[in-house]
């Protein structure tokens, strides 16, 4: 079979086609030719041209870090730990990535430089942490701190997702019930009212007319509903569209403040991770800038200039508007005691817990509010449908 590799050599990165019996053999052939393997493309074709099923090249970063940490703490060296991870892996894409890492390590390259060849899997913060740990000889501690950092972020993200599931289900079910009433039940009532020959209230007339329009164009309504569902699915599946939608939502007045506070908590935690790894403050500030919003990045640049001019870090963050009252107090304590990294971690933990409490409060408030709105809409449709019957009964009495 023919495998397509992304390799790097003296002239830079390029694509390379290798004929081999397996992915591992293709990687070994490329390494013997003096190439550094960066990744294996998703497809491999046989000599007859039959396409094989592509495999995902992703490697779960958190799972990889947890397993590597467990093996290192058990007493294995880095080479043995990576070989063990490669041997136990069953997913084709992840196994290929681990094979490339093992081969590069066997060539004598450092672990951090090896990870830098996979930028889609290992972020800059992770690589810098590993690089600093290599110099200090304390890779397990650096991995443990990154695992804690990632677990805390994943816990907040899962909390947000779980809090959003029930309101979304309410909106979907309420919308479907409303469409059923308008598209099926209301037209049935309109036939009865038209045959009676009596004048009906104007609001009921509007409702009946809307229902008749929906019933008269079922294909158009079904197409519009399918387009709406497709847009939602595309927005969820497409990372760019999903990120743009989230950024728009986070600009709402109610959410903007909490979103900025949440990003500051991530900023404090990431900065603490880098400082504990031994990275200088000015370099760590430059590395964590991409995780902030553009306005916050400008504030951070202002704080960096102030720190380089000799201003205390806590004061620089305060002047730049990037220190909450709690963080301001804790950072001053950290500067006085030489425990700035620990105080940044405490600040992040405090704001994460506060954000989690706010999510709980908002979800408990939003659920009954949505149920009330949906009940009012459905109840309004039912009342408008029966209003002519109520008037007829009143006239008979």
Q: Map 14-78 to HEC letters.
A: EEEEEECCCHHHHHHHHHHCCCEEEEEEEEEECCCCCECCCCCCCCCHHHHHHHHHHHHHCCCCH
Q: What is the pLDDT of residues 217-232, one digit of tens each?
A: 888 888 888 888 888 7
Per-residue pLDDT band for 57 (boundaries 50, 70, 90) equals very low
Residue 268 predicted with pLDDT over 60: yes
Query: Average of pLDDT values for 37-41?
Result: 65
Does the pLDDT of residue 339 top 80, yes or no?
A: yes
What mean pLDDT comes out for the span 306-317? Answer: 87
Residue 278 has pLDDT above 50, yes or no: yes
| Exposure b/e, 281-317, CB count within 10 A at least 16 = b | beebbebbeeebeeebeebbebbbebbeeeeebbbbb
The reported pLDDT for the residue numbered 210 is 81
H-state helical runs in the chain: 23-32, 61-73, 78-88, 92-106, 111-116, 124-136, 139-180, 186-196, 202-216, 218-237, 239-249, 253-276, 281-288, 294-308, 313-320, 325-337, 340-396
Overall average pLDDT of the 238-251 stretch: 70
Per mean pLDDT, which range of 21-25, 304-308, 351-355 is the poorest?
21-25
Q: At residue 42, does pLDDT exceed 50?
A: no
Tokens 């760590």, located at residue: 284
Per the CB < 8 A criterion, the answer to whether 260 and 267 are in contact is no
Q: Indicate the pTM of the whole model.
A: 0.65
pLDDT of the residue at 119:
79
Average pLDDT over residues 189-193: 74
Query: What's residue 368's pLDDT?
Result: 86
Q: Of 70, 92, 186, nearest to 84 (Cα)?
A: 70
pLDDT band with cut points at 50, 70 and 90 for residue 52: very low
The predicted structure's pLDDT at residue 48 = 30
**Mean pLDDT calculated for residue range 43-69:** 58
Inform me whether the pLDDT recorded for 47 exceeds 70.
no
Reply yes or no on whether the pLDDT at 40 is more than 80. no
Mean pLDDT throughout 356-376? Answer: 86
Phi, psi (5° rounding) for residue 238? -85, 120
pLDDT at 45: 44
- The β-bridge relationship of strands 2-9 and 12-19 is antiparallel
Q: What is the pLDDT of residue 113?
A: 84
Question: Could you give the count of Cα atoms lying within 13 Å of 163 in the half-sphere of its Cβ?
Answer: 18
For residues 246 and 142, the model is more confident at 142
What are the pLDDT digits (tens) for 148-162? 888 888 888 888 788
Tell me what the mean pLDDT of segment 285-310 comes to: 84
Reading across the β-sheet that carries 2-9, which strands appear in turn? 12-19, 2-9, 36-45
Per the prediction, the chain carries an average pLDDT of: 79
Residue 292 DSSP label:
S
Q: Which of 169, 121, 117 is nearest to 367 (CA)?
A: 169
pLDDT band, residue 22 (cuts 50/70/90) = low
- The candidate with the shortest Cα–Cα distance to 265, out of 317, 324, 312, is 324
Q: Tell me what pLDDT residue 55 has.
A: 36
Q: What's the confidence (pLDDT) of residue 50?
A: 32
* pLDDT classification of 283: cutoffs 50, 70, 90: confident
Residue 323 has pLDDT above 50, yes or no: yes
Q: Give percent of the chain with pLDDT exceeding 70.
A: 85
Report the alpha-carbon distance of residue 15 to residue 40 in Å, rounded: 9
Query: Rounded to the nearest 10 degrees, how much is the dihedral formed by the CA atoms of 53, 59, 63, 67?
Result: 100
Residue 235: DSSP 8-state? H
pLDDT at 167 > cutoff 80 = yes
pLDDT band of residue 395 (cuts 50, 70, 90) is low
Rounded to whole angstroms, the Cα distance separating 262 from 155 reads 13
Instruction: Report pLDDT for 53.
Output: 30
């Amino acid at each position: 079979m023919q495998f397509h590799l992304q390799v790097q050599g003296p002239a830079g990165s390029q694509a390379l086609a290798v004929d081999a019996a397996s992915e591992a053999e293709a990687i070994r052939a490329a390494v013997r030719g003096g190439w550094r393997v960066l990744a294996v493309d998703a497809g491999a074709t046989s000599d007859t041209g039959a396409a094989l099923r592509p495999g995902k090249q992703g490697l779960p970063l958190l799972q990889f870090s947890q397993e590597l940490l467990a093996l290192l703490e058990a007493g294995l060296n880095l080479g043995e730990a990576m070989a063990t991870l490669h041997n136990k892996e069953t997913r084709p894409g992840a196994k290929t990535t681990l094979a490339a890492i093992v081969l590069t390590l066997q060539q004598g390259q450092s672990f951090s430089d090896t990870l830098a060849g996979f930028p889609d899997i290992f972020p800059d913060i992770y690589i810098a942490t590993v690089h600093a740990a290599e110099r200090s000889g304390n890779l397990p501690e650096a991995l443990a701190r990154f695992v804690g950092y990632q677990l805390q972020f994943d816990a907040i993200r899962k909390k947000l997702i779980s809090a959003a599931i029930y309101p979304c289900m309410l909106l979907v079910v309420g919308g479907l019930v409303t469409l059923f009433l308008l598209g099926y039940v209301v037209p049935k009532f309109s036939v009865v009212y038209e045959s009676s020959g009596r004048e009906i209230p104007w609001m009921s007339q509007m409702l009946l007319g809307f229902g008749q329009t929906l019933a008269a164009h079922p294909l158009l309504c079904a197409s519009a509903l399918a387009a709406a569902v497709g847009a939602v699915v595309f927005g969820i599946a497409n990372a760019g569209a999903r990120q743009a939608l989230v950024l728009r939502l986070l600009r709402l007045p109610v959410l903007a403040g909490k979103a900025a506070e949440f990003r500051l908590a991530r900023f404090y935690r990431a900065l603490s991770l880098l400082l504990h790894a031994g990275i200088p403050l000015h370099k760590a500030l430059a590395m964590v800038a991409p995780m902030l919003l553009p306005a916050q990045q400008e504030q951070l640049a202002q704080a960096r200039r102030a720190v380089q001019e000799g201003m205390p870090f806590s004061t620089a963050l305060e002047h730049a508007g990037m220190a909450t009252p709690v963080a301001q107090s804790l950072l001053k304590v950290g500067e006085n005691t030489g425990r700035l990294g620990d105080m940044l971690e405490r600040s992040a933990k405090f704001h994460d817990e506060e954000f989690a409490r706010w999510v709980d409060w908002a979800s408990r408030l939003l659920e009954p509010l949505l149920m009330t709105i949906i009940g009012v809409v459905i109840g309004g449709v039912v009342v408008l449908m029966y209003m002519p019957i109520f008037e007829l009964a009143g006239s008979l009495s």
